[in-house]
Amino acid sequence: MRSIDGRSLDLDDVIAVARRREPVRLAPAAAKRVDASRRALEKVVAKGGLAYGIKTGFGELANVAISNADVRTLQITLLRSHAVGQGPPSARMRSEQRSSCARTRSPWATLAFAASS
């Protein structure tokens, strides 16, 4: 089983998971860092503070505050917009690599779980 620790991912790991379907898990230390990041973001939201892309828009809309009621919707919309493919279909390997990354609990995945629950 491959372990994702947030620091040592290499091409061999990606190929093992994408091509040979080796199982992957998030290392306990990385899971703790993800959880700590989530708690920090939850504090920002609870206090009404601004955090780029969490409590504000993106890019030119970075100075637009997002209401607490719309934070969840913003995060779901962000994930959906990044999940939409454009142009010709990707090669199988590229799709499998993206899928492998999505199966791990990344900070972005944590936000997605928080937004959809």
CA distances from 68 to 3, 5, 82, 101, 117 (A): 35, 32, 22, 29, 15
pLDDT tens string, the chain, 117 residues long: the values are: 899 898 898 888 888 888 888 998 999 999 999 999 889 888 887 887 788 888 888 889 899 988 888 888 888 888 887 766 666 655 655 555 555 555 554 554 444 444 443
Cα 82 from chain centre: 10
pLDDT of residue 90: 59
Rounded CA-CA distance 39/49 in Å is 14
For the domain that residue 100 is a member of, what is the CATH number?
1.10.275.10
Q: What are phi and psi of 57, to 5 degrees?
A: -75, -170
pLDDT of residue 112: 44
pLDDT of residue 110: 43
Helices (H), 4-56: 11-20, 28-47
Residues, the chain = 117
pLDDT of residue 102: 55
- The model's pTM: 0.56
Overall domain count for the chain: 1
Rounded CA-CA distance 16/3 in Å is 11
Rounded CA-CA distance 13/76 in Å is 29
